[in-house]
Amino acid sequence: MDDLVNSAYTCNNVLTIVEAVLVVTSDGRNMIGVLQGFDQTTNLILEKCTENVYSPSTGKLEQVELGLFIVRGNTV
């Protein structure tokens, strides 16, 4: 995820932080992406999202590209 660079910029006098986050869901999924938004029920919007998946056949950790992804708050 080299293209996910932590940065900050201002738009209409509001500071916006663009940062990669790791989300672990209640069923054990690991997703990494840029947090674009959230709401009061902890629904998350992740951009440039990838999921780390263990492949038993190869014995290695693989990254699956998900793109824009919405994580339901009750699974976080």
Does residue 56 lie within any of the structural domains? yes
For residue 64, is pLDDT > 50?
A: yes
Does residue 53 lie within any of the structural domains? yes
Measured between alpha carbons, how far is 57 from 72 in angstroms, rounded to an integer? 30
Measured between alpha carbons, how far is 58 from 20 in angstroms, rounded to an integer? 27
Does residue 2 lie within any of the structural domains? no
What phi and psi, each to the nearest 5 degrees, are found at residue 2?
-65, -25
Measured between alpha carbons, how far is 4 from 35 in angstroms, rounded to an integer? 11
Question: Residue 58's domain spans which residues?
Answer: 21-75
What CATH number did the domain enclosing 55 receive? Answer: 2.30.30.100
Does residue 11 lie within any of the structural domains? no
pTM of model > 0.75? no
Q: Given the structure tokens 């947090």, which residue do they identify?
A: 35
Structural domain count of the chain: 1
Residue 3 sits at the vertex; the CA angle it makes with 44 and 49, to the nearest 5 degrees, is 30
Q: What is the DSSP letter of 74?
A: G
pLDDT in tens, 1-58: 444 444 554 455 455 566 789 999 999 899 999 998 888 888 999 999 999 998 888 8
Does residue 1 lie within any of the structural domains? no
